[in-house]
A and B are shown apart, each in its own frame.
Chain A
Amino acid sequence: MGTSDNTFRNFIRKHEKTVSFSDKPDIQYPIGIVEPSPCMEACPAGVNVKAYVSLIAAGKFHEALHVVRERNPLPGICGRVCTHPCETYCNRNQIDAPVAIRALKRFVADYELEHPIPKPQKTAGTREEKIAIIGSGPAGLTAAHDLAKSGFNVTIFEELSEPGGMLIAGIPSYRMPRDILKIEIDYIRNLGVKIITNKKISGKQDYNKLLKGYDAIYLAIGAHIGKKLGIPGEDDYEGFLDAVTFLREVNLGKPQKPGEKIIVIGGGNSAIDAARTALRLGSEVNIVYRRTRQEMPAEKEEINEAEKEGIKIHYLAAPAKIIGENNKVTGLECTKMKLGKPDESGRARPIAIKDSEFIIEADVIIPAISQEPDLSFLPKDHNIDISRWNTFTANENTMATNIPGIFAGGDAVTGPNTVIDAIAQGHVAAKSIERFINGEALEQTDSRTKPIETEIKIDLKNRPKTKRADIPMQKISERKNSFQEVEYGFDEATAIAEAQRCLRCGPCDECYICVSDCHKGLSVIHSKNGQDDYVLRLPPDFQSNNLADGNLHGILKSANGKDMPIELDSYIPVVKEELCRGCGDCVTVCEYDACQLIQKDGEIFVSQIDSDLCRGCGTCVTFCPSSAIQPSRYTSDWLSFKLKKIDPKKRNIVVFSCNWNGADFEKINTSKYKNINFIFIQTMCTGRIESTFILRALEEGADGILIVGCSADECHYEFGAKRFAETYAKVQQLAHMLGYDKYRIEYKTVSGKNTDKFVELVNNYTRKFK
């Protein structure tokens, strides 16, 4: 029964401006990110670690991978070689051992190989602008990925025969199988990124072509020149091979045994990579490092494996002089060191011990002390600021160099650094390049890349100790002469068990499943503005189609197959103190003592809701006279959008139901009522149903309204049903006065969880409208 057009619908129309809509005409609930967890904060690329770990725990592997890819386009690579600062900051460190986050990432990447999902569509080319990226390492690939996703035409120029930069030239295949690398690069190619290999940019002509032909240039050339040792004899003998050159030769050229006895100098990952590679080629390998194992910058796992494989590491030994004969290296004279006070880098300064020299025999020495970028490709008058370390100087917030339109990132800016840092800079550069092309300010606060520094307080006491899953490894005996991958991945059961060790620090898992998966009448967005944020703790293991219609709570299908009701944190209403009269009506209606009046200043009291006691029935919201208690769900906006489905061409029946009485709308055979349009609205408890809900439904054009609650003595919240009876009495009188016939509002109760009874009640009521 339609009412005049000008009334409430106008009101709704005006309202539309203040809420956002999805394609479906449904309300979106904004969900705010409140506090990042330590793992997420630690990740330079801002990967939402907690989200993907909890998705893995829930067995949602594809979804987990999707979360990783949002901030890291190279999940399989990082799942193998990332230095995982996330694990360093994991709160589990304080209990037992960190969650094996890196291995979990690898697991989801590997999972996709066995359970493929459709390849990404080409996104590049929707915009005209062209961007040149020099270098196809992680920094370049990430920027290309982001820029292609934004629609730009991206071309990567790579000097080497294969794309990947240090990933292919530096990291040995026993750590990073080449097929994985290829798959991940192909993923980026699928977006429409062009990668031209064997193309060295060199000289003025090439450089000018770039400047003219492209709207922006990103220099991600890495640091591929090994630094010299600077000790006597270095230039006098044959038998020197710096680590990057050695690894490049092995990885991209012909793998050749470098020598019988070799010495690697240095303690970083490159040193270990060079040593383990040489070992695999049949050499006897010694590593010389001037501090102790504690200070060694290489990953602890890597050092362990190197030693297990039979590499001898000489700690507290500094190279002093090269020993040679007949123009050839025969050994290295070292000085024994002891540790002194910390130096600028914070590590203990090694001090030489007098008369402690000793000699290690060797026919090849591989220095792996540091690298710097090869800037020789630039014409002399390039004018780009270069630092004293021979790296590009770029603004750390934007990755912009001093020349507008030219950006730089990765090792070419930082000097030798980690893959994940290069990825992080790739993101920043891509964002800046997009802003540059759009003519926007480069420097903007981006909450995702710059997490707010907050300390998440979670209770670490009384947490049971759990064992971190061991990463399965190739047998030591099988490793010699083999470049087979040393680490194996987790199987599904191990991955799930390991992910379940996650403490889920912070209020929301931020898995965004609510966004992508939310069922029927409600889609959910993570709010971008800081205002009106709703905190949603939505466990990723819920099955959305079990959620009550339009509610942020419902039945959770847990991993073990048992159904259990879930309630989200957001059920706790918020008191708008400025509106609170301090009347205490909430204190009276709430029989859980969740509402209390607290003294603000002087005589002013305001209501406060104790989140520990609150059970979220919403009755206090219904009974707050000044509307100061704002619901986190079942808001008036939510109702408005539900009621938008009223169809003036049909007879409309609105059914309100409690969540606990077994009401199941799916069980109603709506198709047998041809001329009837049903609108099912489920609330937490009939106690939340305000008189306005019903009056508004009538006003909007509902022909009939049926409320199916629980009987008063069976109310899940003990008092909600009782309170609704009061509301109903009022509404009946008001509706009667407004001239609505009595049959149009009917209130029925169901005893226990009784779906059949619910269906019967709906059918009985509907018959009145035939």
Chain B
Amino acid sequence: MDLVDQIKATNAYGCLECGKCTAVCPVSLFSQRYSPRSMLTKTIRNEFDSLYIDYDLWSCLTCRRCDAVCPANIDYSTLTQIVRSSAQDSGFHGKCSHAGAMELLQKTMTTKDLKQNRLDWVTNDLQIADTGEILYYVGCAPYFDVFFTDLDIATLDAAKSSVKILNKLGITPVLMSDERCCGHDLLWNGDVENFKMLAEKNIESVENTGAKTILFSCAECMSAFMNLYPEHGFKVKPKLMHMSQFLAEKLSNDELNLKESNTDITFQDPCRLGRHMGIYDEPRQVLKHNDGEHFHEMMQHDKKSLCCGVSAWMNCDITSKGIQKERLKQAKETGAEILAVACPKCHIHLTCTMKDKFVEDNYHMDIRDISTVVLERME
């Protein structure tokens, strides 16, 4: 499909110029410059030369906040991905944060004969298997925790907690030692080629385990399997579940019981979990279980929730920080102590701003993955 056809498929030419997208866009909220509407106008006017070198081509969080309100049903996020991809083909790249370290790691993982040691974190008390019906897809958390040592972050806690919960439920999950990056970030950055290589490898590895269900702590990984792989011609056979869905199911079946807790808690909807995959209720069912009065919604929640400010490691700038501060402020205003997250990216980005030396103390929250919260409340 050529570029124009791809753009057509996003319905971009149906733009009514109502500006709702810009009105709700979190980036526009904090950046004087950025406007999805004007980016779209440039695109449908074929002003690619100027778009390719436009800083803001890489500013979109692809959080689908605009897509959700667009009266013309335009898929602006995909449109952005398409233009980025065409920019990359023409030799133009966005600026990845951390000197492109994440991009590099992701690309390295396309290497065929890679012998990763990515399961070193699995301690003896955790039961895991190479084959089986239930697969837990870890994601890149092991790499994140090393790379973000300075942030003193432990995104792997989500995986550790998840495996512990599964073990307690009598399940020995499959963890793949040859798991690769899901390719989510590469695709959204426009690198379709490498994304496809990762997708192929992951699907092959998953098939080799015989898994019927894949569980995810990372909303992005799940959205890759659920949406991006099929969209790019890869069939995903197993059932896909986010840990929050799995936990909600177990709770409603009474296979799992949670203690009451006196800790006030709020929840950050990851844009991939919510607007990309429509999963809003299950995390709330889990967090409210047996403890409804301690759960507090932030000012913006569910479909209107605010993104964590950075997507695919691009354009991590003052606008991102503005969004992150706003989100932390909203979380703080609920009076909650714990900010539950369901995606390691939310975890990292919000932590980064919280630990920023120039951000005041009143933004500090205890950020934990939903599985970690559940594990602590398990009887």
Please tell me which one of the listed residues A4, A579, A588, A624 contacts residue B111 in the complex, with CB atoms under 8 A apart: A4
A126 contact set on B, CB distance < 8 A: none
Are A584 and B118 neighbours in the complex by a CB distance under 8 Å? no
Which chain A residues border B107 with CB–CB below 8 Å? 7-8, 11, 699
Question: How far in angstroms is the closest Cβ of chain A from B187?
Answer: 15
Chain B residues with CB under 8 A of A576: 95
Min CB gap B238→A, angstroms: 25
Chain A proximity mask over B66-106: 1 for CB below 8 Å, otherwise 0: 00000000000000000000001111110111111100110
Give, as a whole number of angstroms, the nearest-CB distance from A458 to chain B.
Answer: 35
Q: Smallest distance from the beta carbon of A120 to chain B beta carbons, Å?
A: 38
Question: A597 vs B318: C-alpha distance in the bound complex, in angstroms?
Answer: 13
Within A404-440, which residues are at the interface with B (CB < 8 Å)? none
Question: Which one of B126-134, B140-148, B367-375 is at the A interface?
Answer: B140-148
Instruction: Report the bound CA distance from A622 to B101 in whole Å.
Output: 11
Rounded to whole angstroms, the CA-CA distance of A472 and B192 in the bound complex is 73
Cβ–Cβ contact A738 & B100, under 8 A: no
Interface status of A3 (Cβ within 8 A of chain B): yes
CA distance A739 to B116 in the complex (A): 4
Q: How far is the CB of A586 from chain B (nearest CB, A)?
A: 11
CB distance from A247 to the nearest CB of B (A): 60
Instruction: Give Cα distance in the complex from A696 to B106, angstroms.
Output: 12
Residue A597 contacts which of B96, B98, B358 (CB distance < 8 angstroms)? Answer: B358
B153 to chain A, nearest CB (A): 13
Q: Which A residues from 569 to 611 make CB contacts under 8 A with B?
A: 576, 578-584, 587-588, 597, 604-606
Q: Are B143 and A583 in contact (CB under 8 A)?
A: no
Q: Is B108's CB under 8 angstroms from A7's CB?
A: yes
Minimal Cβ-Cβ distance residue in A for B115: A739
Q: A695–B97 contact, CB under 8 A?
A: no
Q: Tally of A-B residue pairs with Cβ under 8 A? A: 135
A699 and B114 CA atoms in complex are apart in Å by 11
- A528 at interface, CB cutoff 8 A: no
Q: Tell me if A636 counts as interface (CB < 8 A to partner B).
A: yes
Verify B357–A588 contact, CB threshold 8 A: yes
Known pairs A581-B320, A627-B99; A15 contacts B91 (CB<8 A): yes
> Is B256 part of the contact surface with A, judged by Cβ < 8 Å?
no
The answer to whether the Cβ of A182 comes within 8 Å of any Cβ in the partner chain is no
B143 A582 Cβ-Cβ under 8 A: no
**Which residue, of A11, A604, A628, has the highest number of chain B Cβ atoms within 10 A?**
A11
Closest chain B CB from A6 CB (angstroms): 6
On chain A, the residues within 8 Å of B104 by CB distance are 8, 692, 695-696, 699
Give the interface segment out of A193-201, A254-262, A321-329, A729-737.
Answer: A729-737
CA distance A15 to B213 in the complex (A): 40
Shortest CB-to-CB span from A698 to chain B, Å, is 8
Q: Place the interface of chain B in its size category.
A: 35 or more
In the complex, the answer to whether B316 meets A625 with C-beta atoms within 8 Å is yes
User: Are A636's CB and B320's CB within 8 A?
Assistant: no
Whether A626 sits at the interface, judged by CB under 8 Å, is yes
Q: Which of B175-214 contact A (CB under 8 A)?
A: 193-194, 197
Tell me which residues across on chain A come within 8 A of B99, comparing CB atoms. 621-622, 624, 627, 636, 690-692
Q: Does A18 interact with chain B (Cβ within 8 Å)?
A: yes
CA distance A647 to B95 in the complex (A): 29
* B358 and A605 form a contact (CB under 8 A): yes
Interface assignment of A17: CB less than 8 Å from any CB of chain B: yes
Residues of A in contact with B (beta carbons under 8 Å apart) = 3-4, 6-8, 10-11, 14-18, 576, 578-584, 587-588, 597, 604-606, 621-622, 624-628, 636, 690-692, 695-696, 698-699, 726, 729-730, 733-734, 736-739
Q: Nearest 10 A-B pairs (CB), nearest first?
A: A17-B91, A739-B115, A626-B316, A733-B146, A626-B97, A3-B111, A739-B116, A584-B357, A692-B99, A7-B107
A-B contact pairs, 21 of them (CB 8 A): A3-B112, A6-B194, A6-B197, A7-B194, A8-B108, A10-B193, A17-B91, A621-B99, A626-B316, A626-B317, A627-B98, A695-B101, A695-B104, A695-B105, A699-B104, A730-B147, A734-B147, A736-B117, A737-B120, A738-B105, A739-B114
